[in-house]
Chain A
Amino acid sequence: MIPVAFDYSAPTTLDEALTLLADAGEDGKILAGGQSLIPVLKLRLAAPHAVIDLGRIDALRGIREDGDHVVIGAMTQHHDVATHPLVAEHANLIARATQTVADPQIRHRGTFGGALVHADPAGDLPAAALAMDAVFHIVGPGGERTVAAADFFVDLFTTAVGDNEILTEVRMPKKTAWVSDYQKFTRVAQQWSIVGVAATLRIENGRIAEARIALTNMGSVPIRVQAVEQALIGCAIEEDAIARATASVADGTNPPSDLNGDPDYRRHLATVLTRRAVLNAA
């Protein structure tokens, strides 16, 4: 399968990329790791006139700490996120979720920022970023702005990043010594999540002191479940107590219906997977 022809540019600076993007107008498309965009182009579901490849902008790649935050450059490959010691130490939920993305070859090319801006409702990273209270740094012609995770995911495949803007990095408050799990339910290898659950917890004296829970593919955007986070506080690490605290996780959700399952099946899965994620994390 061959994409429709396009003009290609590979800027080496962010400023250059922003100019190219502005010049391309509505017909421009940013290429990050390409592991979602290239299949879409090959299937001719999209036919941008101009493709602007961010792969040669070194400044967009890398993981660093900045005070009490971990910062992941938008063009950092999944493999690097999944194996980086800073992520393991301060954002282990992100490491857990990233390890489940697609397969090794795709994790070598696909990028953290690319997956987040793509905002596939079945993608694994949006829920993890939401649970981590991530803040998104977006640059456009008017300068830089920041958007909290709760406002970043707007709808199916739609984020707060405008047509003429680029996501540069994602900052997350360190959750050092928190424990995490990402439960992903699929039928076969490398399938998209039918449902996924991101859980990260701070445990004190054998009880849950703080919790963050977010769901993948239970709606058009990832869903943070604060009622369950509250219910988990003070909970002992014990199956019955955790099952009670997480039982309502799917309440009020409107998950999609497809060949993999109807909404009731997904609500059931979300409940089971949340219990497992919390128990596994703890």
Chain B
Amino acid sequence: MVQTTITVTVDGTSYTDQVEPRMLLVQYLRETLGKTGTLIGCDTSNCGACTVHLDGVSVKSCTMFAVQADGHEVTTIEGIAGADGLHPMQTAFHENHALQCGFCTPGMIMASIDLLRENPNPDEQMIRDGLEGNLCRCTGYQNIVKAVRSAAETEAAKVELGATIPVGQPS
């Protein structure tokens, strides 16, 4: 089978691999790179469990070929925590009990981060609309929406706090 060489940056590390053109991005992440944090749910682009960021915007990695990511940057759920701990969205999900079985969680968190990037202060309806592409079959939406709202408030509070600190002072 003809293979194509791709170079993709995933979670900050550059990888060069030979892939079949028909290999899906989610397969590449899970099977070639071993990044099994990104899940395959419906495999038909409905459920959003496979959501990752491509150059910073949310996409469904089951509905994209790995070759299409050649030269691009992919961020998965495994790449969002910093050296000092969880990503604020992960913390918000944790604190608000925004997961039951947890299967939809990686995709929900990746979609939620992108949602706040586009709209840092969404109301409840905007959050529900923004997460339209992600299904939670435990139907735990209430706490997921609460978590996203809480992450938005935490970020807003930080920005406000930052603005009141005079330049040159330690924060």
Q: Is B158 an interface residue (CB 8 A)?
A: no
| Chain B interface, number of residues (Cβ within 8 angstroms) | 32
* Chain A residues, Cβ within 8 Å of B2: 7
Residue among B1, B64, B133 making CB contact with A38, cutoff 8 Å: B64
Closest to A110 in B: B63
A102 cross-chain contacts in B, Cβ below 8 A: 133
Question: A35, A43, A189: which has the most chain B beta carbons within 10 Å?
Answer: A189
A273 at interface, CB cutoff 8 A: no
The answer to whether B115 and A104 touch across the interface, beta carbons within 8 angstroms, is yes
**How far, in Å, is B160 (CB) from chain A's closest CB?**
26
User: B139 contacts the other chain (Cβ, under 8 Å)?
Assistant: no
**Could you tell me if B48 and A34 are in contact, using CB atoms closer than 8 angstroms?**
no
Evaluate contact between A106 and B133: CB separation under 8 angstroms: yes
Q: Which residues of chain B (100-150) have a CB below 8 Å from chain A? A: 111, 114-115, 130, 132-134
Closest residue of B by beta carbon distance from A37: B63
Residues of A within 8 A of B4 (CB): 8
A1, A4, A103, most chain B CB atoms within 10 A? A103
* Contact assessment for A39 and B63 in the assembled complex, using a CB-CB cutoff below 8 Å: yes
A79 nearest in chain B by CB position: B57
Q: Contact between A6 and B60 (Cβ–Cβ < 8 Å)?
A: no
Is A190 an interface position by the 8 A CB rule? yes
Do B132 and A104 touch (CB < 8 A)? yes
Q: Is the CB of B22 within 8 A of A53?
A: no
B60 CB contact (under 8 Å) in A7, A43, A105: A105
A39 touches B45 (CB 8 A): yes
Q: With A34-B68, A42-B44, A109-B64 as given contacts, are A104 and B133 in contact (CB-CB < 8 Å)? A: yes
Cα(A38)–Cα(B68), bound, Å = 12
Contact (Cβ within 8 A) A103 B48: yes
Asked if A6 and B22 sit within 8 Å, CB to CB, the answer is yes
The contact of B133 among A43, A51, A190, by CB within 8 Å, is A190
Residue A219 at the chain B interface, CB threshold 8 Å = no
A35 smallest CB distance to B (angstroms)? 6
The distance in angstroms between the C-alpha atoms of A69 and B24, with both chains bound, is: 38
A189 to B67, CA, bound (A): 30
B58 at the A interface (CB under 8 A)? yes
A10 at interface by CB-CB < 8 Å: yes
Q: Does B21 contact A (CB under 8 A)?
A: yes
Q: From B43, B45, B70, B133, name the one whose CB has the most chain A CB atoms within 10 angstroms.
A: B45
Q: How far is the CA of A189 from the CA of B63 in the complex (A)?
A: 18
B59 close to chain A: CB less than 8 A? yes
B residues less than 8 Å from A39 (CB atoms): 44-45, 63
Q: Tell whether, in the assembled complex, residue A106 and residue B45 are in contact, meaning their CB atoms are under 8 Å apart.
A: yes
> Would A108 and B59 count as touching, CB distance under 8 A?
yes
Closest to A50 in B: B21
Chain A residues whose C-beta falls within 8 Å of the C-beta of B22 in the assembled complex: 2-6, 41
B65 sits at the interface (CB 8 A): yes
Residues on A with beta carbons closer than 8 Å to the beta carbon of B111: 104-105
- 18 A-B pairs in the complex with CB atoms less than 8 angstroms apart: A2-B22, A5-B20, A7-B21, A8-B67, A38-B45, A38-B63, A41-B22, A103-B48, A103-B134, A104-B111, A104-B115, A104-B130, A104-B132, A105-B48, A105-B51, A105-B59, A109-B60, A109-B64
Which residues on A are within 8 Å of B, measured CB to CB?
Answer: 1-8, 10, 34-35, 38-39, 41-43, 51, 53, 55, 79, 102-106, 108-109, 189-190
Q: What residues of chain B have their CB less than 8 Å away from a CB belonging to chain A?
A: 1-2, 4, 20-22, 24, 27, 43-46, 48, 51, 54, 57-60, 63-65, 67-68, 70, 111, 114-115, 130, 132-134
Other than A105-B59, A109-B60, give 15 A-B pairs with Cβ distance below 8 A: A2-B24, A5-B22, A34-B68, A38-B63, A41-B22, A42-B43, A103-B48, A103-B134, A105-B58, A105-B111, A106-B45, A108-B57, A109-B63, A109-B64, A190-B46
